[in-house]
């Protein structure tokens, strides 16, 4: 096993939960340490379980980690996307351009505001949204662009921001895969008007469920905080400090708050972000070296200007170079004990979007072709070297059995 695969030196105590290795190795999994448990227990022993000091500390820690002025926590990544769309002012009659190669939550968040998601195709190498295809989709109704940092690779953020500035649009970056990634030296979270992160258990750090929006705009941060708490413009902590009960609701918001328990877990895990990125990068490098010889498999590409966060490791199965298509390889690897998955079916081809908007296929040919080939291999920072070797050997065996 390559030396690069050796895990970085631990910065906290070992995992409290035994890493039982079942027959199926999942594509992603969280890891909880004794330090994480201690942080959560401290909150449980405190007198605040929501909207307290851990929330403030977690938001400040994420803002510092990504170089943003403001960070606003939410109950999930989807809630954070919804809030960002609302803060951008999306409403019925507006359009927002996004990529079809994402989880449906990206486009759904636009629908939650009453606006319409419009899909622009992706570039063939990184599978991130194509700025030129965005330009083709712009109309006077367009108010926002929602790029996705697919699998942890940043979108072409400079080009997107230039286009947004030209047309007066808001860039809401779906960075749910990309905590720790960089674009031209700048951390994801500090580049776009708003960037959304997810803390689902398969992500780099977890709060169980949770999300965050980072921004440099004080105006947007105030809108986000108001939206997550029913549209009430003053928070209870401030009212308590001032000795007043008076509040008012000036807009229609949601209850999208993140608990103190979740914030404590997230803040503890965030301290390990760099070792987590290093481990994921080492695994990705080992895969690339091992799979380079397989003509039927195309490994992910990293642009020269990007630092990949490696949330996912999506390969493409090229049927012209094999006697098996993606679904055949999927079934064979599942039988071999690998919890491979597919990320993603293009959103515009999902039944709801077909029925509501009349998509028939052919609207985004690059994304559609990739969607038929993509296969996500196991990659998470808790993987042992033997797990990585198990994946490599299984993939080699299956693809070589269908070669020629």
Catalytic annotation, residues: 203
Contacts for 162 with CB less than 8 Å, ≥ 6 apart: none
Q: What is the 8-class DSSP label of residue 11?
A: S
Look at the block and give the residue holding tokens 């980072």: 214
What does the alpha-carbon distance between residue 64 and residue 187 come to, in Å, rounded to a whole number? 10
Helix (H) or strand (E) holding 143: strand 142-146
Helix (H) or strand (E) holding 401: helix 385-401
Q: What is the 8-class DSSP label of residue 309?
A: -
Cβ atoms of residues 366 and 101 within 8 Å: no
Q: Where are the beta strands (DSSP E) in 225-369?
A: 297-298, 306-307, 313-317, 338-339
Cβ atoms of residues 349 and 361 within 8 Å: yes
Reduced to 3 states, what is the DSSP secondary structure of residue 322? strand
What does the alpha-carbon distance between residue 236 and residue 242 come to, in Å, rounded to a whole number? 10
Q: What is the 8-class DSSP label of residue 102?
A: S
Cβ atoms of residues 316 and 375 within 8 Å: yes
Q: What are the Cα distances from residue 10, in Å, to 95, 272, 278, 378?
A: 47, 9, 12, 22
DSSP class per residue in 112-133: HTT-EEEE--B-TTT--B-HHH
Lay out the sheet containing 70-74: strands in order across.
70-74, 211-215, 194-198, 170-174, 142-146, 95-98, 116-119
What does the alpha-carbon distance between residue 84 and residue 172 come to, in Å, rounded to a whole number? 7
Q: What is the 8-class DSSP label of residue 7?
A: P
Cβ atoms of residues 212 and 206 within 8 Å: no
Report which of 151, 96, 162 is spatially closest to residue 128, judged by C-alpha positions: 151
Q: For residue 19, how many C-alpha atoms fall within 13 Å in the half-sphere facing its CB? A: 15
What does the alpha-carbon distance between residue 159 and residue 144 come to, in Å, rounded to a whole number? 14
């Amino acid at each position: 096993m390559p030396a690069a695969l050796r895990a970085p030196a631990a910065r906290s105590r070992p995992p409290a939960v035994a890493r039982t290795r079942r027959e199926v190795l999942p594509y992603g999994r969280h890891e909880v340490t004794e330090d994480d448990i201690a942080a959560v227990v401290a909150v449980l022993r405190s007198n605040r379980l929501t909207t307290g000091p851990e929330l403030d500390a977690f938001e400040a820690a994420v803002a510092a980690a990504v170089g943003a002025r403001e960070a606003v926590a939410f109950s999930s990544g989807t809630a954070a996307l919804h809030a960002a769309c609302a803060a951008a002012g999306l409403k019925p009659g507006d359009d927002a351009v996004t990529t079809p190669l994402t989880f449906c939550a990206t486009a759904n968040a636009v629908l939650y505001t009453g606006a319409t998601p419009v899909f622009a195709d992706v570039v063939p190498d990184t599978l991130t949204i194509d700025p030129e295809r965005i330009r083709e989709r712009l109309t006077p109704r367009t108010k926002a662009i929602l790029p996705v940092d697919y699998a942890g690779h940043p979108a072409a953020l400079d080009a997107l921001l230039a286009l947004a500035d030209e047309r007066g649009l808001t860039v809401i970056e779906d960075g749910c895969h990309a905590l720790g990634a960089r674009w031209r030296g700048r951390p994801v979270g500090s580049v776009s008007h708003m960037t959304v992160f997810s803390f689902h258990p398969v992500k780099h750090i977890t709060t169980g469920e949770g999300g965050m929006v980072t921004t440099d705009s004080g105006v947007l941060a105030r809108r986000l905080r108001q939206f997550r708490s029913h549209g009430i413009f003053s928070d209870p902590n401030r009212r308590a400090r001032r000795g007043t009960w008076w509040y008012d609701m000036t807009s229609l918001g949601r209850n999208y708050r993140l608990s103190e328990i979740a914030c404590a877990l997230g803040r503890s895990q965030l301290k390990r972000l760099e070792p987590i990125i290093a481990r994921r990068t080492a695994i990705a490098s080992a895969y690339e070296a091992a799979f380079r010889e397989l003509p039927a498999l195309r490994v992910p590409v990293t642009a020269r200007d990007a630092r990949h966060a490696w949330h996912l490791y999506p390969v493409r199965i090229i049927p012209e170079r094999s006697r098996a298509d993606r679904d055949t390889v999927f079934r064979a690897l599942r039988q071999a004990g690998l919890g491979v998955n597919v990320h993603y079916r293009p959103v515009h081809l999902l039944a709801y979007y077909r029925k509501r908007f009349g998509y028939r296929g052919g609207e985004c040919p690059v994304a559609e072709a990739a969607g038929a080939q993509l296969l996500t291999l196991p990659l998470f920072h808790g993987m042992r070297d033997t797990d990585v070797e198990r994946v490599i050997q299984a993939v080699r065996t299956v693809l070589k059995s269908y070669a020629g």
